[in-house]
Amino acid sequence: MSVTTAKGFVAAGVAAGLKSTGANDVALVQNLGPSKAAAAVFTSNRCKANPILWSQQVITDGVVEAIVLNSGGANCYTGAFGFQTTHETAELVGTSLGVSSGDVLVCSTGLIGVGGPEFRANVLAGVTLAAPLLREDGGADAALAIMTTDSHPKEASVTSTAGWALGGMAKGAGMLAPGLATMLVVLTTDALVPANELDAALREATRVTFDRLDSDGCMSTNDQVTLMASGASGIVPDAAEFRAAVASICGTLATALQEDAEGASHDISIETINAASEADAVTVGRAIARNNLFKAAIFGNDPNWGRVLAAVGTTDAEFDPYDIDVTINGIRVCRAGEPDQPSESVDLKPRAVHLLIDLKVGTSTATIRTNDLTHDYVHENSAYAS
Amino acid sequence: MSVTTAKGFVAAGVAAGLKSTGANDVALVQNLGPSKAAAAVFTSNRCKANPILWSQQVITDGVVEAIVLNSGGANCYTGAFGFQTTHETAELVGTSLGVSSGDVLVCSTGLIGVGGPEFRANVLAGVTLAAPLLREDGGADAALAIMTTDSHPKEASVTSTAGWALGGMAKGAGMLAPGLATMLVVLTTDALVPANELDAALREATRVTFDRLDSDGCMSTNDQVTLMASGASGIVPDAAEFRAAVASICGTLATALQEDAEGASHDISIETINAASEADAVTVGRAIARNNLFKAAIFGNDPNWGRVLAAVGTTDAEFDPYDIDVTINGIRVCRAGEPDQPSESVDLKPRAVHLLIDLKVGTSTATIRTNDLTHDYVHENSAYAS
């Protein structure tokens, strides 16, 4: 259940001094082939970190030999020196593994603005340490190395009865908002799948999983989801089964990110039904997911449906503002724009919260996942840099 | 310095049982003329409260005799009964003052979903109590009656050397976000100004004051800014001076709202300069104002410019992501996409914070005002309904 579950992949995770705690902070994953097909999606933030700028070039030919990831510094807004650090990191991985640096993806995560000489020295030292440690059971060490404020490593896998496997790791606990990828994720499979099909499966999956996770409305500058296929199983998978597996593992990892969101005490699924279009359903869900008053109310176990409707009313989705139903954890508290069941009958003590918005104008549905706004969120994010 | 500063206006504020504390909760302001010209702007939230639906009809002819306002219940999403309550309130004001109910504006503020029989009885009782108490010095009582989570009443006035005056009151401490009006504001003047000029002056003023206040990104369903002119001074003001006075008083009251924002410990002015257009400057400022990570950082006195750029990068404004300067309280911490002065030299202890974003692509400027994200904000908004 890791990035080395699929045959043909080796990984390592080492402590290179980037984290003051001495925990793992540099991860390396190599594809031993025979196929080196890969696909990746990147943050849509226009302020992109240096590793994103580098990796976007690497992925253009659909060939990836290895991916190197570090925590302890985002290498974003670190200027020409920072880009050179990313370049040197890929060069060192290439030399160490005997592959082209142009086929090495680089990911960084941590504070923006961190990427000076000490950062560079630590990352390069990490690569030197990690390369000889690459192992078929190194996935767990790698997953530890990409953690930032995550409380635990996040791994998952899917095994097909046809004989191929798909595994992966993710990091992410804050700055979770859409724009394709908003975290670091590495997926590996030993199925034999060409790059264009990997790309299609990955985009289809991320669109309805990571892209619908909106913990705090804040989009990162560094996030990347990568899918690499070694073909080591020798099996060409059924296309539909493979796409479903990619969607499944993305869903599993997205749930793990949501459940570990910084300071959160509730995981909220906002399901919008009977919308005129899927885009409308997403728009409505996202408006609610970003409404601080609603999120603070859920923290206080207050089923405040007025704040839900006030958020819905800010969107351009198609609906009659006075014919919307709102159901919270199975209790319909608002029907057609009037109070329905008493709010007191809603039990918000469980961590999982289900909010159902019935727009009554069409047949489309979408679910956005978010978290509540808590004292701990404010605390963690006011003290992060110190 | 109140809604009765201008000649020709009387006001009253009474306690009618809507607030459990026994504080004032119904306000009435009457224009004694000779002119009854008025203008109003309303929330752009599509989920509008019953008093908004009513008042939008009243204002169409530019004639307003009186405005009645209550706290202790928003009368929003209260169905046909709630709209009938608004209608009956206007009727009772009309009967009590001997004017047409079709010239009576109604405003409500408080919890959405509150507007049942007890609410109606209390509001009507409040009108009955207030009507005989209308006085030329009743402004202060009225300002108390519209408070919700406000810590103090908010009043302002401007007096022209030409002999006319402009005064007003406002309420608002949370759910402050743009969409024209996001609070209740009543402005009164004894200048002789026709309704269409009042409307133009009011829209021009609110566009750059209330509309650029974005405390928590949450837009209310009930908010309204009204400007009434009695003409009692007999003076036709200089048009430019009058517009400037309206802009000035709106700016003063917007500042008062910002400074009293729920739980805030910092008042943040986000000034975006050298943008390609004013719209771009507003877009950039608003994206920062709604970024919880940035807002939590300011609460923690952390000049985290990385979060500023990550927010800027989510917008479609014109800029080179790697040629933006960020200055916090006079210290340029990021220059052209690289760290500049050390963050440690920024003093964030004062309540007022000035964030300057230089996009370096044009000549347009805009300032968005917001607050930090604090433990007290989460506390107040998770406990509001209880």
**Strand residue runs (E) in chain B:** 9-14, 26-31, 37-42, 66-70, 104-108, 154-159, 165-171, 184-189, 224-229, 267-275, 325-328, 331-335, 338-339, 352-358, 364-371
CATH number of A130's domain: 3.60.70.12
Q: A245 and A148 in one domain?
A: yes
In a domain, B3, yes or no: no
- H or E stretch including A275? strand A267-275
Q: B159 and B278 in one domain?
A: no
Residue B369: the pLDDT is: 86
* Cα B288 to Cα A23: distance, rounded to the nearest angstrom: 33
Residue B16: the pLDDT is: 96
B60 CB-contact burial (10 Å; exposed 0-12 / middle 13-18 / buried 19+): exposed
Q: Is the pLDDT of residue A295 over 70?
A: yes
Q: What is the DSSP-derived secondary structure letter of residue B321? A: T
Structure tokens at B123: 């509001």
Q: A172 and A77 in one domain?
A: yes
In a domain, B2, yes or no: no
* Cα B340 to Cα A113: distance, rounded to the nearest angstrom: 10
Tell me the angle at which helices A50-58 and A79-97 cross, rounded to the nearest 10 degrees: 50
Q: A101 and A35 in one domain?
A: yes
A79-83, A324-328, B137-141, B222-226: range with lowest mean pLDDT: B222-226
- H or E stretch including A205? helix A195-208
Residues 222-281 of chain B with CB under 8 A from chain A are none
Q: A139 to chain B, minimum CA–CA distance in Å?
A: 30
* Cα A206 to Cα A199: distance, rounded to the nearest angstrom: 11
Residue B21: partners with Cβ closer than 8 Å, 6 or more residues away: none
* Cα B167 to Cα A356: distance, rounded to the nearest angstrom: 45
User: Quick check: A342 contacting B, CB < 8 Å?
Assistant: no
Residue B319: partners with Cβ closer than 8 Å, 6 or more residues away: B275, B276, B280, B284, B312, B359, B360, B361
User: Quick check: A375 contacting B, CB < 8 Å?
Assistant: yes
CB B359 within 8 Å of CB B275: yes
Q: B225 and B281 in one domain?
A: no
Residue B293: the pLDDT is: 84
Residue A174: the pLDDT is: 59
Contacts A383 to B, Cβ<8 Å: 300, 302
Instruction: Answer with the one of B202, B224, B259 that is the final residue of a domain.
Output: B259
Structure tokens at A199: 């790309």
Q: A164 and A69 in one domain?
A: yes
User: Quick check: B149 contacting A, CB < 8 Å?
Assistant: no
Structure tokens at A234: 């020798």
Residue B17: partners with Cβ closer than 8 Å, 6 or more residues away: B25, B122, B125
Cα radius of gyration rounded to whole Å, chain B: 22
Residue A61: the pLDDT is: 94
Q: A247 and A272 in one domain?
A: no
CB B109 within 8 Å of CB B71: yes
In a domain, B290, yes or no: yes
Structure tokens at A207: 């669109």
In this structure, the dihedral spanned by the alpha carbons of residues B94, B98, B102 and B105, taken in order and rounded to 10 degrees, is: -50
Which of B302, B341, B374, B382 should one mutate to test binding to chain A, selecting the residue with the greatest count of A CBs within 10 A?
B382
In a domain, B337, yes or no: yes
Tell me the angle at which helices A79-97 and A117-130 cross, rounded to the nearest 10 degrees: 10
Contacts A337 to B, Cβ<8 Å: 77, 79
**Residue A246 lies in domain:** 9-259
Q: Which of B15, B344, B7, B375 is nearest to B160 (CA)?
A: B7
Q: Which residue of A has its CA nearest to B317?
A: A46
In whole angstroms, what separates CA B279 from the centre of its chain? 21
Tell me how many domains chain A contains: 2
A180-189, A359-368, B82-91: range with lowest mean pLDDT: A180-189
Q: B166 and B125 in one domain?
A: yes
Instruction: Answer with the one of B259, B278, B304 that is the final residue of a domain.
Output: B259
Helix, strand, coil % (nearest 5) of chain A?
35, 25, 40
Residue A92: the pLDDT is: 98
pTM, two decimals, is: 0.77
Q: Which residue of B has its CA nearest to A80?
A: B338
**Strand residue runs (E) in B207-318:** 224-229, 267-275
Q: B318 and B356 in one domain?
A: yes
Average pLDDT over residues A99-124: 92
Q: A322 and A210 in one domain?
A: no
In a domain, B1, yes or no: no
Report the percent of chain A where pLDDT is more than 70.
94
A161 CB-contact burial (10 Å; exposed 0-12 / middle 13-18 / buried 19+): exposed
B315 an active-site residue? no
Q: Is the pLDDT of residue A263 over 50?
A: yes
Q: Which of B113, B334, B378 sits opposite A305 (nearest CB)?
A: B113
User: Quick check: A381 contacting B, CB < 8 Å?
Assistant: yes
In DSSP terms, which residues pair with B135 in a beta bridge?
Answer: B11
Taking CB atoms and an 8 Å limit, are B339 and A113 in contact across chains?
yes
Distances (CA, A) of B27 to A376, B63, B155: 40, 19, 14
CB A65 within 8 Å of CB A30: yes
Q: Which of B217, B311, B382 sits opposite A299 (nearest CB)?
A: B382
CB A125 within 8 Å of CB A150: no
Q: Which one is catalytic: B182, B188, B272, B327?
A: B182
The mean predicted confidence, pLDDT, of chain A is: 88
Taking CB atoms and an 8 Å limit, are B313 and A48 in contact across chains?
yes
* Cα B116 to Cα B84: distance, rounded to the nearest angstrom: 11
A17 CB-contact burial (10 Å; exposed 0-12 / middle 13-18 / buried 19+): middle
* Cα A287 to Cα A310: distance, rounded to the nearest angstrom: 10
Average pLDDT over residues A290-312: 88
Residues 154-213 of chain B with CB under 8 A from chain A are 174-175, 179
Taking CB atoms and an 8 Å limit, are A300 and B383 in contact across chains?
yes
Strand pairing report for B325-328 and A9-14: unpaired
In a domain, A3, yes or no: no
Instruction: Answer with the one of B203, B231, B259 that is the final residue of a domain.
Output: B259
Structure tokens at B135: 């006085």
* Cα B233 to Cα B189: distance, rounded to the nearest angstrom: 9
Measured from the Cβ of residue A137, the count of other Cβ atoms closer than 10 Å reads 11
The three-state secondary structure class of B56 is helix
CATH number of B370's domain: 3.10.20.340
Taking CB atoms and an 8 Å limit, are B338 and A78 in contact across chains?
yes
Q: What is the DSSP-derived secondary structure letter of residue B20? A: T
The phi and psi torsions of B129 (rounded to 5 degrees) equal -70, -40
pLDDT tens for chain B, 386 residues long, are: 899 999 999 999 999 999 989 999 999 999 999 999 988 888 777 778 899 999 999 999 999 999 999 999 889 888 899 999 999 999 999 999 999 999 999 999 888 788 889 999 999 999 999 999 999 999 999 999 998 878 888 888 889 999 999 988 887 765 555 443 346 778 889 989 988 998 888 888 887 777 777 766 666 777 777 788 888 899 999 999 998 888 888 888 888 877 877 788 999 999 999 999 999 999 999 889 888 889 989 998 989 888 898 888 888 899 998 899 999 999 999 998 888 999 899 999 999 999 999 999 999 999 888 889 888 888 887 865 44
Distances (CA, A) of B336 to A123, A354, B304, B314, B339: 25, 44, 16, 18, 8
In DSSP terms, which residues pair with A275 in a beta bridge?
Answer: A364
Average pLDDT over residues A109-123: 89
Q: A236 and A284 in one domain?
A: no
Average pLDDT over residues A304-319: 87
In a domain, B340, yes or no: yes
Structure tokens at A124: 């390069």
Residues 59-78 of chain B with CB under 8 A from chain A are 74, 76-78
- How many Cβ contacts (< 8 angstroms) between chains A and B? 190
| DSSP output for A170-203 | EE-SSS---SB--SEEEEEE-S---HHHHHHHHH
In a domain, B163, yes or no: yes
Structure tokens at A68: 């190197």
Q: B307 and B219 in one domain?
A: no
Strand pairing report for A104-108 and A66-70: parallel
Taking CB atoms and an 8 Å limit, are B112 and A306 in contact across chains?
yes
Taking CB atoms and an 8 Å limit, are A218 and B310 in contact across chains?
yes
Quick one: CA dihedral A294, A295, A300, A301, positive or negative? positive
Contacts B179 to A, Cβ<8 Å: 314
CB B219 within 8 Å of CB A314: yes
